Amino acid sequence: MRWSDFSKLIKFRLTFLVVFSASISFLIGSKVNGEIVWKNWALLIIGGFLVTGAANGFNEIIEKDLDKLMLRTADRPLPSGRMTNGQALVLSLFMGIAGTYILGHLNLTTGYLSVFSIFLYAFIYTPAKRKSPVAVFIGAIPGALPPLIGYVAAHPKIDYIALVLFGIQFVWQFPHFWAIAWVLDDDYKLAGFRLLPSGKRDATSAAITFLFTLILVPVSLLPTYYNFGGLYVGAVSLLCSFAFLYFAFNLLLKQDISSAKKLMYSSFFYLPIVQLALLFDFVGK
């Protein structure tokens, strides 16, 4: 088994950013608790990586025949035949069990939320993708749980801070994904996926994407509003949200693939910058 196949099976770059978001909210939860237990931070990162890798592994086993039809995913280890379902299943089960054990070791809530995320993502969202664009709203729940899981791993009670961290990542995913779905619509069509809000590249999809990017502006100001992110975080969030909104407006105006690509790339920058700003501001206190 080559690293490149393993990294494709677990969708390494996506998994990296998912775990990154959890590791930041762990530090925020630790500050609320009053101390940072670095051993637990390491356990969260390892466990989070394993459970997210497992979720993606199960997803790729279920979508093997569909991934074969799309240019973007045809070279993944299962559709390309470089890995068997059995190997992927053993790997994913091992990662899922090991990851859940590690996270459960931190506290039970963290363990339960991780199993719930794997289940929701791999066994509800993944089959729903073929049915309707509503699947994106289902996938956005496990996609937004990592920051909540990271926070709870350090601070076992789900409080308003955990919910705000969940909320920001939840709303961010819509422009993130609908920009990708716009760029890749022809590819998705090969596998019969219709994941844009209206099912196609049109003013309605661009308008709904713009609307959710607009909603992200006040949502990203919640840490400042609830006073666990300072004015500095508010300023960075506002700047990033307006930049994000500019690209979403640009897509609404032009409704073309290059505008969707710019919105997609801005989504990759938005989340880490806003989460890092929250971290520096919070830990810096």
Ligand X SMILES: CC(C)=CCC/C(C)=C/CC/C(C)=C/COP(=O)(O)OP(=O)(O)O
From ligand HEM, ligand X, none, which one binds at residue 180 (CB under 5 to 8 Å depending on kind)? Answer: ligand HEM
Q: What gap in Å lies between CA 248 and CA 243, rounded to an integer?
A: 9
Q: What gap in Å lies between CA 277 and CA 285, rounded to an integer?
A: 12
With CB under 6 A as the contact rule, the residue among 103, 140, 216, 222 that binds ligand HEM is 140
- Using the contact rule CB under 6 A, the part of the chain among 37-45, 60-68, 134-142, 235-243 near ligand HEM is 134-142
**52 part of the interface to ligand X, by CB under 6 A:** yes
User: Minimum distance from CB of 242 to ligand X (Å)?
Assistant: 25
User: Minimum distance from CB of 265 to ligand HEM (Å)?
Assistant: 10
Which of residues 106 and 140 has its CB atom nearest to ligand HEM in the complex? 140
Which of residues 69 and 221 has its CB atom nearest to ligand X in the complex? 69
Q: What gap in Å lies between CA 16 and CA 3, rounded to an integer?
A: 15
**177 part of the interface to ligand HEM, by CB under 6 A:** yes
**18 part of the interface to ligand X, by CB under 6 A:** yes
From ligand HEM, ligand X, none, which one binds at residue 55 (CB under 5 to 8 Å depending on kind)? Answer: ligand X
> Which has the closest alpha carbon to 121: 59, 171, 168?
59
Beta carbons of 195 and 129 less than 8 angstroms apart: yes
From ligand X, ligand HEM, none, which one binds at residue 5 (CB under 5 to 8 Å depending on kind)? Answer: none
Beta carbons of 175 and 267 less than 8 angstroms apart: yes
x/- letters, 265..284, toward ligand HEM (CB under 6 A): ---x--x-------------
> Which has the closest alpha carbon to 161: 203, 218, 223?
223
Beta carbons of 158 and 152 less than 8 angstroms apart: yes
Residues 6+ apart with CB under 8 A from 183: 257, 260, 261, 264
> Which has the closest alpha carbon to 148: 178, 179, 103?
103
Tell me phi and psi for residue 137, to 5 degrees. Answer: -70, -30
Residues 6+ apart with CB under 8 A from 37: 30, 154
Size of site (CB under 6 A) for ligand HEM: 17
Which of residues 29 and 142 has its CB atom nearest to ligand X in the complex? 142
**72 part of the interface to ligand HEM, by CB under 6 A:** yes
Residues in the chain: 285
Residues interacting with ligand HEM, by CB under 6 A? 13-14, 17-18, 21, 72, 136, 139-140, 143, 169, 173, 176-177, 180, 268, 271
Residues interacting with ligand X, by CB under 6 A? 18, 51-52, 55-56, 59, 63, 114, 117-118, 121, 125, 139, 142-143, 145-146, 149
